[in-house]
Amino acid sequence: MNHRPPGQLRSLTSVLITSLTLALAAGTGTAGAATGGSGAAPAVQQQAPPRGKAAATANPLYRTGTMPTVTCSAGTIRQGSAASYRAFMTRINSCLGRAWKTQLKKAGLPFSTPKLRFVTSAVSSPCGKWPAGAGGYYCSGNRTMYIAVTRRNLKNPYGPNHAQFMAHEYAHHVQYLMGVMPYYAQATWRARPSAKLALSRRLELQADCLASAFLRGAAQDLELTPEHWNAMLEWTEENGHKAWPKNDHGKGTSQAYWMRRGFSKGSPAACNTFTAPSRLVS
Ligand SMILES: [Zn+2]
C-alpha cells in the first residue's frame, strides 16, 4: 500500500523547499472594502484588512474555523516532464484559490487571486533579485508567485511535496490579503538585523502552517498518506533550514512543528505565529 523504503522516501521528499519573501510593497493596500450597499446582507460584512500589528496578531482569519475540503484532482507529475509539472502546479493553484476564497469570505476579507509565473532562470521582480537558495517566491509588489522549473524538481517528483511548496507561496499571498505582509514590510523597515530575522521566521512559519492547513483539505485527492506526510515532516526536521544562509525561515524542527500544527487542526487558527513564544519560532 504505497509504502516505500525510507531511502526512497527521503529522496522523494528531498525537494521540499520553501521560499524567501521580499515584501517591499507597504502602503499600497488593496482597493477592496466596499461598505454598505444593497441586496442580501452577507453573513460577514466585507471589510478592509486590519492594519498594523493587529493584522498579524489578531486577524479575523484566525476565527474562520476549519479550511474546506476541496476537490483537487491535480493529476501526477511525470518524471522529467516540465509540462506535467506546470500543469500539476497550475491545478494546485486553482484548488488553493477555491479554498482560500471560501476562507477569506468567512473572515469578511476581500479576495483576489495571485498571478502565477513559471521561470527557468533566476528572474528579478519589483521585489528585487531572485533570493539565493529559493525554489520560488512571492512578490507582494505585483502579487506574483514565481515558481522555478528545474531539473531537480523533475527528477523524483512527489505530488504532495510540490503541493505543499505551492501552498506555501500561496500562503504569502494570503498574508498579503490579511494585511500581514504590509505590517511585515513596515515593521522590518529599518529594524535591527536580529529583529528582522525573528519577524521573517514568524512570517515564513505562518506560511508553512497555512499551507499545511490547506493540504489537509486536499490530502485525499492528492493521495497523501499518513506515511508520506510523516516522511515529509521528518525530512523537514532534518533539512528544512539547510537551504537558507541566514535563519530567516526557522529551524527544521520549527518548520515541522508549524506544518504539523496546521495539518492536524486544518485551520488558520492554529497558525498565529505572531503571538507564539519565541522558542516555537526559533
Ligand atoms: Zn516563504
pLDDT digits (tens, 9 = 90+) for 188-223: 998 999 999 999 999 999 999 999 999 999 999 999
**DSSP-based three-state secondary structure for 136:** strand
CA–CA gap between residue 246 and residue 201 (Å, rounded) = 10
Q: How many CA atoms lie within 13 A of 253 on its CB side?
A: 3
Q: Is residue 247 part of a domain?
A: yes
Q: pLDDT value at position 133?
A: 80
Q: Is residue 30 part of a domain?
A: no
Higher pLDDT, 47 or 11: 47
Q: Is residue 251 part of a domain?
A: yes
Q: Lowest mean pLDDT: which of 137-141, 176-180, 244-248, 278-282?
A: 244-248
Q: Is residue 38 part of a domain?
A: no
Q: pLDDT value at position 16?
A: 35
Quote the strand ranges of the chain, DSSP E: 115-119, 136-139, 144-148
- 35 C-alpha to ligand 1 centroid (Å): 32
The model's pTM? 0.85
Q: Which domain holds residue 66?
A: 50-281
* Domain count of the fold of the chain: 1
- 4 C-alpha to ligand 1 centroid (Å): 29
Q: Is residue 21 part of a domain?
A: no
- 210 C-alpha to ligand 1 centroid (Å): 11
- 212 C-alpha to ligand 1 centroid (Å): 13
pLDDT, one tens digit per residue, over 143-183 is 999 999 999 889 999 999 999 999 999 999 999 999 999 99
- 40 C-alpha to ligand 1 centroid (Å): 38
Q: How many CA atoms lie within 13 A of 268 on its CB side?
A: 25
- 65 C-alpha to ligand 1 centroid (Å): 23
Q: Is residue 260 part of a domain?
A: yes
Mean pLDDT of the chain: 86
Q: What are phi and psi of 227, to 5 degrees?
A: -60, -45
Q: pLDDT value at position 43?
A: 60
Q: Is residue 6 part of a domain?
A: no
Q: Is residue 11 part of a domain?
A: no
- 21 C-alpha to ligand 1 centroid (Å): 5
- 138 C-alpha to ligand 1 centroid (Å): 7
- 200 C-alpha to ligand 1 centroid (Å): 9
